[in-house]
Amino acid sequence: MDLNQQVIVVTGGSGFLGQSFIKSIATHNGIAIIADVDDYTGQQTKEKLKTETGLDQIYFQHIDINEKSSICQLVSQLIKQFGRIDALVNNAYFRNERFWDHFFDVQLEDFNENLTMNLGGYFLCSQQFAEYFKKQGYGNIINVSSIYGVIPPKFEIYKGTSRTTPVVYASFKSALLHLSKYMAKYLKGLNIRVNSISPGGVYNNESETFVQNYKKQCATKGMLDQEDLQGALLFLLSDHSKFINGQNIVVDDGFIL
Ligand X SMILES: NC(=O)c1ccc[n+]([C@@H]2O[C@H](COP(=O)([O-])OP(=O)(O)OC[C@H]3O[C@@H](n4cnc5c(N)ncnc54)[C@H](O)[C@@H]3O)[C@@H](O)[C@H]2O)c1
In angstroms, the CA 176 to CA 150 distance is 10
- Check if the beta carbon of residue 51 is closer than 8 Å to that of residue 67: no
Name the residue number minimizing CB distance to ligand X: 15
Residue nearer to ligand X on the CB measure, 198 or 241 = 198
In the sheet with 248-251, reading across from the earlier edge strand, the strands are 58-62, 31-36, 7-11, 87-90, 139-144, 192-199, 248-251
Residue nearer to ligand X on the CB measure, 170 or 190 = 170
Q: Give the phi and the psi of residue 99 in degrees, each rounded to 5.
A: -55, -40
In angstroms, the CA 96 to CA 41 distance is 18
Residue nearer to ligand X on the CB measure, 107 or 204 = 204
Q: Give min distance, CB of 94 to ligand X, in A.
A: 4
Residue nearer to ligand X on the CB measure, 187 or 224 = 224
Q: Give min distance, CB of 81 to ligand X, in A.
A: 19
User: Which residue numbers are catalytic?
Assistant: 169
| Residue ranges in contact with ligand X by CB under 6 A | 11-12, 14-18, 36-38, 63-66, 91-94, 121, 144, 146, 199, 201-202
Q: Give min distance, CB of 29 to ligand X, in A.
A: 23
Pairing verdict, β 192-199 and 7-11: unpaired
Amino acid at 3: L
In angstroms, the CA 11 to CA 74 distance is 11
Q: Give min distance, CB of 18 to ligand X, in A.
A: 5
In angstroms, the CA 72 to CA 78 distance is 10
Residue nearer to ligand X on the CB measure, 29 or 203 = 203
Q: Give min distance, CB of 93 to ligand X, in A.
A: 4
Residue nearer to ligand X on the CB measure, 66 or 241 = 66
Q: Give min distance, CB of 36 to ligand X, in A.
A: 5
Torsion-angle region of 108 (φ positive above 0: left; ψ -120 to 50: alpha; else: beta): alpha
Coil, helix or strand at residue 49: helix
First-residue to last-residue Cα distance in the chain: 29
Which positions ≥6 away from 203 have C-beta within 8 Å?
Answer: 211, 223, 224, 225
Q: Name the CA radius of gyration of the chain, rounded.
A: 18
